[in-house]
Structures are given as structure tokens and as C-alpha cells.
Amino acid sequence: FLFGEVCVVSFAPLNYHAVSFFALTALFCLWLHSPSRKHAAWLGFAFGLGLFGAGVSWIYVALNVYGGMPMPLAALCTFLYCALLAAFYALAGWLQARWHFSATLRLLIVMPALIALIDWSRTWVLTGFPWLALGYSQVPSSPLSGFAPVLGVFGVSWLLAVAAGALALMLHYRRQYRVVMFCFGLLVAIFFVGGLTKKIEWSQAQGEPLKVSLLQGNVPQEMKFNEQRLRTTLKTYLDLTEKSSARLIVMPETAIPLMQDQIPPDYLELLGKAAKKNNGDVLVGLFGNKRENGKLEYFSSVMSFGTAPTQSYSKVHLVPFGEFIPFKPLIGWVYDKWLHIPLVDTSRGAIDQKPLNVAGQKVAVNICYEDVFGEEIIRQLPEATMLVNVTNDAWYGQSWASQQHNQMSQMRAIETARPVVRATNTGFTSIIDARGNIISSLPQFSVGSLDGEVQGMSGATPYVRFGNYPVIFICASLLLAAIYLGKRKVA
């Protein structure tokens, strides 16, 4: 449990990348000497509970402070969710003890493959929540992040786990010189190759550098849908837009907390006029809506106004419990009685949406935590020349959630070799270059405009072309081969 908790400091905002390496080594050593499958599962569960309990406990803030759920129930729900995430590590612990593997097979093949596969499986089980996948702990400065353009974040998770397994094997066979030297060589090779891969230029400049303004309105979550605050919100974003000289101006997710047809037409005209004077466009976060078959549907959307024709993107990957109600017939009553979250039943946008052609660039827009799913981001690539993320992490208060989210955007930049610009309501508003480095950012919980230049890029990394398939294939093949060898040994 303590090793899991300590592992959190390897992620943003602390970024002590080596800590996850040593924490994982400790877990592998404990697994190796576990007396039973049940014991190994409990060790994995304890590690996971420490990791997620310390790393994503900010879910409580959304439920209690802004969702209105009573404190005891919010605490219980947060604990149960962390326990559910910890169950993935419990499963890995049980599986690695399931067959009679040698120490070498377990530490270098089985455990690393399982770590990568459970990190990946969290992207789709129960609609997905890959927060704190171990590969993110290496962004952006660790040599291991050099593998991200090739194998993605889960490839980084796998190689981090292989390195941890090599160190654990050195400790296990510390008196056997050949084994120690082999493991040491493997460690050096992994980090050396990762460092070399970081130097590869995976993309090329496309067009002239683009001047951008990222607007941060800092609207408190409890005031976001308050009618009395609405006038101030509209004025804040209009003022920031009119003061900007950038060709591309970006507002946060649902910066305008109204349905598209409720927004005064003259307001949108003023936004478009301000963008046109810069020969550019403004991207506005709002609620798109349409009526189909007598039913009103609404979407979390981004619309462009300015010199280019008006275009839009609607969010595809919705947040369960926040933007749609899973198992609504069973748990819908919880929202009626305990939770007070507005606009909780939004519709999904089309899966095949194209980049927006604005400000002379092809911009792949993603909304909120869509950018934690790398395989979904690459749908708009290699056509897109830059990535734009708009989000509102005000739900999580003064926690580490927004910095962790920004770190995942840094991983998307490395995987795709594209710059990422992030406009957020309360922070972390930032400009990230194509190597995942934060060029500039705004202080959290402040009103302002982050101005800078971004260079659009073209080209395709291996990850853009193949997504997560290579690392899934590698890890699954290694695991199956180890199981085969383990069974042969028993026979």
C-alpha cells in the first residue's frame, strides 16, 4: 500500500520519474516471494489501492463539493471506485502466480506484460479510465518517453516494468555474476535506446508559426450555471477575445454555459468579428443542440467563428456519471436524490469527425478527458497539424487532477509529434510542443490569456499509424509464450 502511495509522486506535479521504477521493483519482489495466488492478489490490490487512493481521491471533491452528495456517501463511493481500479493490480498479481514460472520468466516477461495489459484494459473496461497508467510517470524528461512515438504510453508502461523486473532479478540473483551482468546490460540498453529514440524527428514543420491565445475564465464550478453569473462570464470571454491579436483564439470546454440556440446572435457575431480582425478564428466551447424525431439532443461542443466557415466538433467519449448515466434504470434514482449535476445526459458526437480547418491549420479538437485516450486522438491524424484540448477541471478543486491531466496531454504530444494547446476554465492552461515540453502556462485559478506561438507539424509516428496494436500484440504473445513454457516445465 505504501509503495503504491509513494508511486504517485512520479506523476505530475512532482514528476520524480524514478520513483515509479523503484516502487514497481518493490512490488515485483513481493510478488516473486508471495506464498500463494491469493496472497499475490492481495499484494496487488494493496499496491493499487495506495496508488489510486493517493492519486485520484480528488473524485471525492466532484461528488461532495460540486455534486452535492453527502460526505459519508461521497467518501464511500470514492473508496469503492479506487478499490475497483485496484482490482486490476489484484488480477495481475493472481495471474502472475497462476502458473509455475521461473523467476526469470516472471520478472522479465510475465509481470511486465501484465502491467502493460492492465494499464491498457483500463481504457475500455466500463467505458475507460486510464488515469495513472504507469507510462505517464515518465513524461516528458525520462529516457523511456522516447518510446512513446513508437509504442505509445502502454509501451512505456511495459518497458518501465521490464526495467523494474531486471532490477528485481538482479536483487534475487545478486550472487550470480552472469545474471546480474545480463540484467544490468538490459537496464542500460532500455534507457540508452530510449534516449536515442528521443532524438528522432518524427514530424516536420507545416506552414508558418501560428500565434494563439488560450483563454482562462476561472469561473467557479458552483457558479458556472448560475444565471446571475452568466452576464459576467459572457463579458469576460468577450473582453479577452477582443483584446487578443492572435490568429487562433481558444476558449475552454463549455465556456459559454448555454445551448447554441440560446446564445444571443449578436454575441457570436462580436466573437467572430474580433477573430476576423486578426485574419483568424475563435474556437468557442458551448452546448450544441438539435431536435431529432421529436427528441432534443445536446452535445458538449466546440464551434469556430471567424474567417473560416463555421465548423464544429462534438464530444465523442463521454464521462460516465458526469455526462451520461450508465445503467440508468438501476441507478438513475441516485441522481434524483443525491447528486445535483447539470446536463448529465448529453449525446455522443459522430466518431468520424474531421479536423477543423481554421487559422491556416488543420486542428484536431478534443474535449476534456478525451485526450487521455491516445487511440481515439489518432483518429484525426495524420491529417491534423496540431491538437487542441478544451477542458474544465474546476470539478476537482485545488487537487493534482489538472496537472495530471496536463501530463497526459504531454504524452499525446509525444505520441503524435504534434503540438498541443490546452484552454481550461481554471487551469492547467498550457502550450505544449511536439516533444511534450511545456512551453508556457497560466497560473491556476486566475483569469487571463496565454499568448504564444505554435508550429503546426505534419508526418506520422509509428503510433499514429498503428496505435496500441503493436504493444498489445507483443505483450499478449510474450505472455502466451511464457504460459506455454511454464506448462512444459510442469509436464
CA-to-CA distance for 411 and 201, rounded, in angstroms? 16
Q: Which residues pair with 287 in a beta bridge?
A: 259, 300
Is 403:12 a contact under the CB 8 Å cutoff? Answer: yes
Cα separation of 441 and 6, whole Å? 27
Exactly one of 198, 211, 224, 315 is catalytic; which is it? 315
CB crowding 405-440: b at 16 or more within 10 Å, else e: bbbbbbbbbbbbbbbbbbbbbbbbbbbbbbbbebee
CA nearest neighbour of 10 among 120, 154, 157: 157
**What is the torsional sign of CA 97, 100, 25, 373?**
negative
The answer to whether the Cα torsion of 193, 88, 348, 367 is positive or negative is: negative
In our burial notation (b when 16+ CB lie closer than 10 A, e otherwise), range 94-103 reads bbbbebebee
Question: What whole-number distance in Å separates Cα of residue 437 and Cα of residue 420?
Answer: 10
Burial of 22 per CB tally in 10 Å (0-12, 13-18, 19+): middle
The active-site residue, picked from 211, 253, 323, 415, is 253
Active-site residue, from 29, 77, 368, 475: 368
Q: Does the annotation count 323 as an active-site position? A: no
Task: Map grid coordinates 455526462 to a residue.
Answer: 323
Question: CA 361 to CA 246: how far, in whole Å?
Answer: 13
453 has catalytic annotation: no
Write phi, then psi, for 126 (nearest 5 degrees): 55, 45
DSSP state of 338: T
The Cα-based distances of 61 to 66, 221, 406, 427 in angstroms read 7, 11, 19, 16
Q: In terms of Cα–Cα distance, which of 390, 368, 271, 379 is closest to 320? A: 368
46 phi/psi in degrees, rounded to 5? -65, -45
Identify whether the C-beta of residue 409 lies closer than 8 Å to the C-beta of residue 479: no
The pairing of beta strand 356-358 with beta strand 361-367:
antiparallel
290 catalytic per annotation: no
User: What residues act catalytically?
Assistant: 253, 315, 368
